[in-house]
Amino acid sequence: MSRDWWFDWRGECVAIVAAGPSVTQENVNKLRDRIHVIVINESHRLAPWADMLYACDANWWRFRNGVKEFVGVKVTQDDAAARTFNLKRIVIRKKDRHKYFDDLLTDDSDEIGSGGNGGFQCVNMATRFGATGIALVGFDYRLFGNTVHWHGRHGGILPNPDHTNFPGWIKHITAAAPVLQSLGVDVVNTSLDSAIKIFPKMTIEQTLERWGL
* Model confidence at 1: pLDDT above 80: no
32 in a structural domain:
yes
The model carries a pTM of 0.94
106 in a structural domain:
yes
2 in a structural domain:
no
7 in a structural domain:
no
175 in a structural domain:
yes
Instruction: With cut-offs at 50, 70 and 90, classify the pLDDT of residue 2.
Output: low
Strands annotated E in the chain: 13-17, 36-40, 52-54, 73-76, 88-89, 91-92, 111-112, 133-137, 186-189
95 in a structural domain:
yes
Domains held by the chain: number: 1
Question: So what's the pLDDT on residue 194?
Answer: 95
Q: ∠ CA(186), CA(194), CA(105), 5° rounding?
A: 45
Domain limits at 107? 13-210
- Characterize the bridge pairing of strands 13-17 and 133-137: parallel
pLDDT, tens digit, 9 for 90 and up, residues 155-194: 666 667 777 778 999 999 999 999 999 999 999 999 999 9
